Structure 1
Amino acid sequence: MSDEQKTLDPTATADDAPTTEASEETVPLPLTELEGRLAQAEAQAAEYKDQWLRATADFKNFKRRTEQERSELIRSASSALVLKLLPVMDDFERAIDNIPPDIAETPWWGGTQLIAQKLRTVLESEGVKAIEAIGTEFDPNLHEAVLYEDAEGQDGIVTGELQRGYKLGDRVIRPSMVKVGRD
């Protein structure tokens, strides 16, 4: 009995009802629909890849920025400590320049000079360098003009240093206080 006949037969039972086997079978999708799904999947994959590449780049930038901030923090902490040590260095240099001759020959004074030398060595190991000033052309980035003095032929030249300036790496942490000559 065909399905059409079963539906018309009033004596047909539920077991004789038409089956939906044909609807349960997978019907092959048309090629255009498959191509559309493939294009959609490729677009989604490209979008995911783009998002992944952006996230990777953002993470690399974050790591680089964090490392820069960390090194800047260390540099600023170092410069703060160095700025606190520079007056001690200045005092040692003034003491060395003004020592009376009778004390200069004592072993005690030799030990004191060694302490000053160790302090200089520690500062140099941290990247601190003295700014050379006397005899150079005045540079407002390196020098702070405190006095001007008449000096024939030395217009704009540093003629004296009142307080030594220092750099930490390439950055000036304290400019030199200088006397500048003028014609």
Structure 2
Amino acid sequence: MQDPNLTPEIPPAVEQQPAPQAAPAGADATPETTVEVMPGLEEALRIAELKAAEHHDAWLRAKAEGENIRRRAQEDIAKASKFAAEKFATSMLPVKDSLEAALSVENQTVEKLREGVELTLRQLVSAFEGANLAEENPLGQKFDPNKHQAISTVEADAEPNTVVSVLQKGYLLNDRVIRPALVMVAKARSQ
């Protein structure tokens, strides 16, 4: 038998929960009150659709902006290509004017004609410098097949593979060959 002075032990797994409280008077304890507290599936779907539409709209705007940037870049490239020679052409106009003025003089002396041609040549050289067009005159230099075109080889006192004669000067535009120099190159004398 059990000792009447001992109280019965409650197992630890059993916890006492507070008794449910009665709803206040006039409150309706129906499932609709639960929907107000926690959004339903329809509300979650509506919110997700709004967010998806917002993201889709932002994506469309970004795509359109990217296309506009690409189109403007293509237009800029086309304009740059079309008007690339504008600066050079502008610097060539005084050269043309000088040549026309020289030809328009009726009774010209050789000295005056030469003076006018020299002035015109200085204008032309200035225009070339403004356009980064450099002259390649390799006389006495080592032959460089990247910048020179050998017409022939000749026996000469110079070291073999040296340019001994320039038949036509070459030109470089921003260090890029646009016309190679036509040269004659030295070869070793035969014994």
Q: Into which bin does the TM-score normalised by the smaller protein fall?
A: 0.5 to 0.7
- Alignment partner, residue 168 of structure 2: 163
Q: Is 1:116 the counterpart of 2:125 in the alignment?
A: no
Please report how far the alpha carbon of residue 150 of structure 1 lies from its aligned counterpart in structure 2 after TM superposition.
3.4
- Alignment partner, residue 44 of structure 2: 35
1:69 aligned residue (69, 75, 78): 78
Give me the whole-angstrom Cα distance separating, in 2, the residues matched to 1:116 and 1:176.
20
- Alignment partner, residue 57 of structure 1: 66
Is the CA contact 2:136–2:171 (under 8 Å) kept in the aligned structure 1? yes
Report the secondary structure of 2:84's partner residue: helix
One-letter amino acid matched to 1:65 = Q
Give me the whole-angstrom Cα distance separating, in 2, the residues matched to 1:140 and 1:55.
50
- Identity between Structure 1 and Structure 2 (%): 24
**Cα separation, partners in 2 of 1:169 and 1:49, compared to 1, 3 Å:** same
One-letter amino acid matched to 2:116 = G
Give me the whole-angstrom Cα distance separating, in 1, the residues matched to 2:87 and 2:155.
39
- Quote the RMSD (CA, aligned, Å): 3.5
- Alignment partner, residue 4 of structure 1: none
Question: Whose helix fraction is larger, Structure 1's or Structure 2's?
Answer: 1
Please report how far the alpha carbon of residue 118 of structure 1 lies from its aligned counterpart in structure 2 after TM superposition.
1.4
**Cα separation, partners in 2 of 1:116 and 1:56, compared to 1, 3 Å:** same
Give me the whole-angstrom Cα distance separating, in 2, the residues matched to 1:56 and 1:32.
36
Q: Is 1:45 the counterpart of 2:50 in the alignment?
A: no
Partner deviation per Cα, 1:22-49 (whole Å, 9 max, x = no partner): xxxxxx8x53212212222222222222
Is the CA contact 2:137–2:166 (under 8 Å) kept in the aligned structure 1? no
Give me the whole-angstrom Cα distance separating, in 2, the residues matched to 1:44 and 1:151.
83
> What TM-score, normalized by structure 2, do the two folds share?
0.55
> What TM-score, normalized by structure 1, do the two folds share?
0.57
Aligned residues: 136
Please report how far the alpha carbon of residue 107 of structure 1 lies from its aligned counterpart in structure 2 after TM superposition.
5.1
**Cα separation, partners in 2 of 1:48 and 1:134, compared to 1, 3 Å:** farther
Please report how far the alpha carbon of residue 163 of structure 1 lies from its aligned counterpart in structure 2 after TM superposition.
0.8
Matches within 5 A, 1:1-183: 31-75=40-84, 106=111, 108-151=113-156, 154-183=159-188
One-letter amino acid matched to 2:70 = N
- Alignment partner, residue 15 of structure 1: none
Give me the whole-angstrom Cα distance separating, in 2, the residues matched to 1:155 and 1:75.
42
